[in-house]
Amino acid sequence: MRPPDRASYTAYLERPGLAGCRATPGNLGATMVFRDLPDGRCAVRTISFWRTHADIAAFAGEDIELTAFYVQDDASLIDRELRVAHVDVA
């Protein structure tokens, strides 16, 4: 994303994305992390924690590796990853 869009995008994504994620049974928390890149862009990652893959599917749909996008993403994001990486936390 463009660095000037960071604050407005964060506020926007908090409402539909993270709030909905956190309200889903089985969600153990969700946050966003940012990193300013040397080329002037700002990278954003959404991280969520879940009890089970079934809980993720209740939020994301059957294909839990397909990234969900929201309306404002087209205006704010320069590039996007289409697949989600799932990892186990010990």
The pTM score is 0.83
pLDDT at residue 75, rounded to an integer? 81
Residue of 72 and 3 predicted with greater confidence:
3
Alpha carbon distance 50, 4 (integer Å): 31
CA 11 to chain centre: 13
27 phi and psi angles, rounded to 5 deg? -80, 135
pLDDT at 50 over 90: yes
pLDDT at 16 over 80: no
For the residues 11-28, what does the mean pLDDT come to?
90
Give residue 32's pLDDT.
Answer: 92
Q: What is the pLDDT of residue 68?
A: 83
